[in-house]
Structure 1
Amino acid sequence: MSSFPRKSGNPAAATAAALVGQAVALHQTGRLAEAEALYRQALAAQPRQPDALHLLGMIACQTGRFTEAAELIGQAVAAKRDVPDYHANLAYALQARGRPAEAERAARNALRLRRPFPEAANTLGNALNAQGKSAEAAEAYRAALRARPDYAEAEGNLGIVLRGLGQAAEAEPLLRHALAANPALTEARAALGLALLDLGRPDEGEGMLRGALMRKPDHAGAAFALAGALHRRGAAAEPAYRRYLTLEPGDAEGWNAHGLALQNADRIDAAAIAFARALRLQPSMVEALTNLGTIHRLRGRAAESADLQRRALDLRPGYAAGHTNLGLALQDLGDEAGAEQAFTAALEADPAQAPARFNRAILRLRQGRLADGWEDYAVRFESARLQPRRPLDLPAWDGGDLAGRRLLLWAEQGLGDELMFGSLLPEALTRFPDAIVECEPRLVPLFQRSFPGTLVRAPSRRRTDADCHLPFGSLPRLLWNSAPVPVPPAGWLKPNPERVAAWRSRLDGLGPGLRVGIAWTSQRVTAERRHAYTSLEEWEPLLSLPGLLPVSLQYDGREEEIAAVEERHSLRIHRWADLDQLADLDGTAALMANLDLVITVASAVGEMAAALGVPVWRLGRRDWTQLGTAVRPWFPTMRCVQPEGGYGVGTAIPKVKQMLIRLSAGDS
C-alpha cells in the first residue's frame, strides 16, 4: 500500500491526507470497515484524492467487489498516472473482473514505470493466459520469478501454464515447489494432478485432484479432471461427473463426457439422457450427436443411428469417429458395402483412427477376405474395443526368418479368444518348435499336457529366454492368410486322463441318457451383447425332452436361476458343488470330455468343449469368426445354429430341439 501523502498547503488536501494516514493504519491491521469510512471521508474532503481512491479500491478488492475496485483504482490512475502500484492493482482488479485485455494494458503500464515488478509481471501472466497467449504468459511468470525467486504464486502459475503447453515434466517440479511454499495454491494443486496424469502416474494424479477438491469443493476444473481420469482407467466415473455437473450444469462437454462414462458402465438409458442434454445446450455438438447415435444403435435402432451420424458428418465432414459410427449402423442395417466405405472414409480423414480399422477388419473377415482382414486386425490393441496390448520389452516378430531367435507366443484377450486362437498353436509349434507359450494360468496344465516338449507357463516377467514375441491373435495373419484355411486337429486340447476317468464314473451314476452340457448366458451381459444371450427359462423345451441329462456348464453358477427353473418345470439340471468351473479349468475340461454334446451361446464354454473335441452346437448369428464360411473353422467339431427370425438367439431353441430329437432317434 502507498505511504502517507506529503503535507500540502491546501487545507482540503491536508485534511484528506490526514484522514488517509489514519485509514492506512486501520487498513494495515485489518480493520477494513473503519478504514473504508475514513477513505470516504477523505474523498468527501478532496474528491480526486488518488491515494484514497486507490486504497478504497484495494479494500473493494479484498472484499470481492471487483467492479467497484476497478472503477475506484481507475479513477486513481486518471488522477495520478505515474504511480506503478496504481496500474498494477488496476490490472489485478480488471483481471479478477474478467477483463484480461484491459488488465494486460494496465500491467504493462506498471512494468513501464517500474522494472522489475514481480507482482505486476505475475498479473500480466494471468491476463495473457486468460487470452490464450500461453507462451507469453510463461515469459511473464519467469520475469516475476527472476525478480523474486521465492514467489510461490508465480511459480505455481508458471507450472500451470507449462502443463497446459504440454510440458508436464517441466511443470511438475515447479508445481511441487510452489505447493511446498504455499499449500493453499489450489489451482497449482489441481494442475499438479493433471501433470501427473499426463506423465502416466494416475494414482498420484487422482490423489492430488482429490486434495484440491478437499481444499476447494467447488473447484470445477479439478472435479472434471478427476472424472476424466477415472473414466480413462475404467473406474466408476459417474459420481465425479455428477459432482462436476452440479457445479457446471450448463457445460455441454461435461454432459457429453458423463454420457460416455454412463455408456461404459452399460447404463444406456441414462447415457442417452446425458447426450440429449448436451445437445439441448449445444445443438451443433457433433460429438454428442454421434454418441447419441451410438446409443440408438445399441438399442437396436440402427436407422435412427445412421441418421444422427449423417447429421454429425454434415456439420463436420471430416469427423473420423462419425464415419466409423455410421459404418457400424450401416453394418447393422445389412449394408456391408456402405459400412466398408464409411470405415475407409474414417481412415482417410484420420489414418490413426484405430476403431475404424478394427471394425473394417471384422467386416472383411466376416466376408472371408482374410489377407485384408488380418492386416486391419493388427490394430486391435489400439482400437479400445479389446484389452490393451501387454507391455513387453521384446521386439515383435514380423514373420520373417527367426534365424536362431527364440519366439514367445502369448495369449491375449479373454479365455474364449485364447482358446480360439490357440487352435493354431499345433501348426505354429510344428513350425517353431523352440517357441515358448504363455497362457492364462488356469490353462497351464491343459496346455502343458497338449504340447509336450514345449515350455508353457503363465505370463512372466522373465525375458532372457526369448528374443521376440507374437500374440496369439497375430498367428492367423501368418498361418491363415488365404481361404480355405487348414483345419486344426480335432481335440488338440488334452484333459487329465485320471480326472476324466473320475468324472466318467460320476456321470455314469446319473443313469442312461444323452449327456448334454449347457451354457446360456455370460457373466457380464452388456446392452451391445444382450441379444447374444438367453435366460435359462428359454431352454425349457430342450431341458424337458425325455432321455436328456442336462449338465450345467454355466461357470458363474446361477444357482438361484437354476433352482427356480428346476422347481417350476420339475426337472433336474446336474451340477456339482465340489467343482469350481471358473477356477478349476482342468477339472472342467475333464467333465466336458465325458459329455455327448455341448449346447451353448457364444462363450468360452463352447470354445473349450470344441478344443477338447466334444461336439458343440453354438447358438448365434453369423459372425466374423466364421471367416466367410457356414462353420467356425477353428473348431472341426462345432456346428453353428442360427436363430430363426427375431433378434435374440433364443429363437434358435425350437430348431435345436428338433435337432436333439433327431439325434436321440439316431439320425445325423
Structure 2
Amino acid sequence: MATLDEALAIALDLHTAGRTEEAETIYGRILDAVPDEPNALHLYGLLCAQCGRLEQAAELLGQAVALRPGQPEYRANLATLHQARGNLAAAAAEYRAALRLCPDSAALAFPLAGAARQMGDSGLALAAYRRTTLIQPDLAEPMAQAGILLRYAGRTGEAVSTLRRAVRLRPGHGEAWHHLGVALQRTREPDAVTALAQAVALLPEDATPRLNLGRAHYDAGRWGAAVAALRGALALDPANDGALELLAVARHKAGWEREAAMALRRLLRLRPDAANGWYALSLAEHGALGSLRRALALQPDHRNALSGLANRLRDQREIAASLRLHDRAIRLEPASAEARWNRSLARLLAGDLTGGWEDYEARWGVADFPTRPRGLPQPLWSGEGIAGQTILLHEEQGRGDAIQFVRYAPLVAARGARVLLEVGADLVPLFRGLPGVERVFARGEALPAFDWQCPLLSLPRAFATRLETIPAAVPYLSADPARIGAWRGRLAGKGLTVGLVWAGNPQFAGDRERSPGLAALASLLAVPGCRFFGLQLGPGHDELARRAMPPSFTDLAPQIRDFADTAAIMASLDLVVSSCTAPAHLAGALGVPLWVLLSHAPDWRWLLDRADSPWYPTARLFRQPRPGDWATAVGEVAAALAERAAHS
C-alpha cells in the first residue's frame, strides 16, 4: 500500500497532467484517511478552484491555512481565491500575512497592491506598488501603477518622476506614457505632447490618449493639431462628449466655425437627444442661444450649458437672468472654479463688487485662465493686520489690470506694511516712485524675504471695495518730468492734441468685440481743428500700413520704448481716445482726459449704462448701442470732439 507522501505525489502528477477527476479521487481518499492533512487540503482546494467550485475551494484552503498558518504559499493562494470571489478585504489580509512571512517577495507585494486598488484603498495600493519596486527595481508594471496612483492623488511631481522610470524600463508601456503625458500636461511641461503622442502610437484603439493629446495641443494654442487629434478620438469613440466639446472649441479658435457647426449638425441629426452635442454646437455658433436651450431641455443639470447660457445672457445685458443661471450652475457643482469665475464677471458687471470679489478668487482654478498661480509659500493677504511686516504685491493677467489695481499699493503701505511690487519689466519705470512702494522688481528678478503675498486683483477683496469706496483719487501714477519736457517740445503746435489707440491684445478672448480697429475711426480723423497721435503698439499697429492716413495724423509708435514713454506723451496731450485696453487705464491713472470706446457687452470694470467710470474720474465712456455698432459710438465721439475742438 502507498504511503501518504506517495499518494500525494501520484495525485499531484495527475493534477498537473490535467487528469483532474483521477486526482480528485485520490485527494478525497487521502482526506478520508487523514482529514487534517494540510498539503492534501491545499492541493485539493487548488483543484476545486480550477474547476470553478470556488466556495468549496475557499473552505479547503482556509482549513489548510488554519493548520499551517506559517506557510506563505497557502496564504497567497487563499488570497488569490478571495480576490477572485470579490472578497477584497480578506484577500488583502491574507496577502499581508504572507508578506510578513516573506517580506522580500515581489510576487506577494504586487497582487496585494491590485487587491487594495480594487477595494479603493489607494494608500495601501501605492505602498504595495512601491514596496514591489523596492524589492525588484527592474519591474516596469508596479512602477507604472505607482505613478498612476500618484497622479490620481495629485502628487504630480512624484508621478512624473515615477512614470519616467517606468517608460525607461519598458518603452512600449502605452498606459505609462499616457499618464506621464497627462501629468506633464498638468504642470504645463512642453514634452507633454511628446509623451501623449507616444501613448497614441502604442494604444491605437484607445480614444482617451487622443483626447488628451488634443487637450495638450489646445492648451498650447495649436488649434489645427488639436482638431486632428480630437478627430482621431471621435473616430474611435463617436459619442465621446469631451472630445466633441473640445473639438468645437478648437475649431472655433482656429476660425473654422462653419466646419465645426456642419460636423456637429450632422452628428445631431443622428443623435438629436445628445445634450453635449447641442452644447458643443453652441460653442461653434457663438451668437445663438437655441442650442444651449436645447441642451438644457434635454439635460436640465448640464452645468456647462447653464454657465454657457448665463454668459450669453450676460453679454446680452440680461444680468438678472444670467445670475439666476449662474446660481443654478454653482448649486449643481459647488466646487467648480469655472462656474464661480463666470458668476464673478456677471456680479462685477452688475456692480455687486462684494459678491464679485469673492467669486473672483476662483480664477486660479480655471483651466485656461491666462495667468498661472505663482505657487508662493507665503500666505495670501486678505486684509489682516500687517503693520511692520513685508508684503509682495505681484502682477497678474494683462498690463491694464496691473495699471488699474496698483492704486492699492499705497493703501497697503498706509497700513504699516513694507511693500514690494513685482511686475513685467516694461512697467518697472512707470511704477518706480509709486508712493509707499519700497522697491519695484521685474518678473524673474531675485526677491528678498517677505511675509505675505497678494496678486494685484485680489486687493479689492482685501479692502472690501464697494462701488462707493473705490479708491479713485487721480493721478496715482505720474510721468517722468524729463520725458514730459522732451515730448511737449515734439508735440507743440496748433489745434487740439488727441492720442489714439484702436486695438488691444488679439490673444485676449474677447478682443474682436472690444477693439474697433483703425478703419472704424475714419469719421473721427476727419474732425477739423485736431492733431492726432497714434499710440497704438502691438499687432494693431500693422493696420497703418494698409490705410492712407490724413496729414493731421502722426504715428508715435516707433518712438515709444515703454509705458513710461506712453505716460509722458499722454501727459503732453489734451485728450486720449482709446479702446478697452492698457493705454486707457494708463490715461485714467494719470488723470488725463480719457474717452473710452466700449463694446455693447463691455468688460466688467466699465459696468453698464453709465457714461462715467467710478475707477477713473477723468474718463468718459462711449458705448455701442447694439452689438458690433462701432459707427454710432465713433460718431458720438466725433461729435463731442468737434464741439471740444471748436471751443479750445
TM-score (norm 1): 0.70
- Per the TM alignment, residue 259 of structure 1 is displaced from its structure 2 partner at its CA by 2.3
Indicate the residue corresponding to 2:293 in structure 1: 307
Q: Which is worse superposed, 438-447 or 267-276? A: 267-276
Distance 1:336 1:452, change over 3 A: closer
CA RMSD, aligned part only? 4.5
Q: Which whole-Å CA distance do the structure 1 matches of 2:300 and 2:223 have between them? A: 29
Q: 1:234 aligns with which of 188, 203, 220?
A: 220
- Unaligned runs of 5+ residues in structure 1 are 1-49, 52-80, 88-103, 110-117
Change (3 A) 1:356 1:225: closer
Deviates more, 1:243-252 or 1:512-521: 243-252
Aligned to 2:438: 454
Return the letter of the residue paired with 1:226: L
Contact 1:513-1:549 within 8 A present in 2 as well: yes
Opposite residue 602 of structure 1, the aligned amino acid is C
User: 2-side partners of 1:565 and 1:216: how far apart?
Assistant: 53
Question: 1:661, CA displacement in angstroms?
Answer: 1.2
Q: Counterpart amino acid of 2:396?
A: E
Note the alpha carbon deviations across 1:177-220, whole angstroms, 9 max, x for none.
6544543444444444445556x473454433344456677775
Q: CA 1:133–1:315 in 2, change beyond 3 Å: closer, same or farther?
A: farther
Q: Distance in 2 between matches of 1:434 and 1:357?
A: 33
1:183 corresponds to: 171
Map residues 10-29 of structure 1 onto 2, 5 A cutoff: none
1:604 aligned residue (572, 582, 585): 582
Tell me, in whole angstroms, the C-alpha distance in 2 between the residues paired with 1:201 and 1:463. Answer: 24
Residue 490 in structure 1 maps to residue 474 in structure 2: yes
1:452 offset after TM fit, Å?
A: 6.7
Check 1:266–1:464 CA distance in 2 against 1; reply closer, same or farther (3 A cut).
farther
CA distances 1:68-127 after superposition (whole Å, capped 9, x unpaired): xxxxxxxxxxxxx9999999xxxxxxxxxxxxxxxx99x979xxxxxxxx9x99xx99x9
- Are 2:398 and 1:414 equivalent residues in the alignment? yes
Deviates more, 1:378-387 or 1:348-357: 378-387
Q: Give, as a single letter, the amino acid of the residue that structure 1 aligns with 2:303.
A: A
Residue 152 of structure 1 contacts residue 179 of structure 1 at CA under 8 Å; is this kept in 2? no
Distance 1:403 1:183, change over 3 A: same
Match of 2:517 in 1: 535
Query: Secondary structure of 1:592's match?
Result: helix
Corresponding residue of 1:654: 635
- The aligned residue for residue 554 of structure 1 is 536
TM-score (norm 2): 0.71
Q: Give the residue type in structure 1 aligned to 2:555.
A: R
Q: Distance in 2 between matches of 1:162 and 1:479?
A: 42
Q: Distance in 1 between matches of 2:233 and 2:627?
A: 45
Aligned-partner Cα distance in 2 for 1:522–1:366: 20
Matched, 1:521 2:507: no
Task: Give the Cα–Cα distance (whole angstroms) in 1 for the partners of residues 548 and 565 of structure 2.
Answer: 25
Partner of residue 465 from structure 1, selected from 414, 424, 449? 449
2: CA distance, partners of 1:223 / 1:404: 54
Q: CA deviation at 1:379?
A: 2.2
Identify unmatched segments of 5+ residues in structure 2: 1-17, 20-45, 53-79, 86-104
- The answer to whether the 8 A contact 1:158-1:174 is kept is no
Match of 2:422 among 426, 438, 452: 438
8 Å CA contact 2:501, 2:536 repeated in 1: yes
**By how many angstroms is 1:175 displaced?**
5.5
Instruction: State the shift of 1:427 in Å.
Output: 3.7
The structural deviation recorded for 1:517 is: 0.8
Residues 331 and 280 of structure 1: CA distance in aligned 2, closer, same or farther (over 3 Å): same
Shift of 1:526: 6.2
Closer/same/farther in 2, CA of residues 243 and 504 from structure 1, 3 Å limit: same
**Conserved 8 A contact 2:388-2:417:** no
* CA-CA distance at 1:563 after TM superposition: 4.0
CA contact (8 A) 1:266 1:526 kept: no
Does the C-alpha gap of structure 1 residues 267 and 433 become closer, same or farther in structure 2, counting only changes over 3 Å?
farther
Alignment pair present for 1:223 and 2:224 = no
The residue number in structure 1 matching 2:66 is: none
Aligned amino acid, residue 587 of structure 2: A
> For residues 552 and 358 of structure 1, do their structure 2 counterparts lie closer, same or farther at Cα, with a shift above 3 Å needed?
same
Q: Cα gap change, 1:482/1:304 in structure 2, threshold over 3 Å: closer, same or farther? A: same
2:319 pairs, out of 318, 329, 336, with: 336
Shift of 1:334: 3.7
Q: Which residue of 1 aligns with 2:196?
A: 209
Contact 2:387 2:417 in 1 (8 A): no
In the TM superposition, residue 527 of structure 1 has moved relative to its aligned partner by: 6.8
Separation (CA, whole Å) in 1 of partners of 2:424 and 2:403: 10
Once the two structures are TM-superposed, the CA of residue 658 in structure 1 deviates from its matched residue by 0.9
Contact 2:594–2:619 (CA under 8 A) maintained in structure 1: yes
- Kept in 1, the 8 Å contact 2:409–2:437? The answer is no
Q: What amino acid is the match of 2:518?
A: L
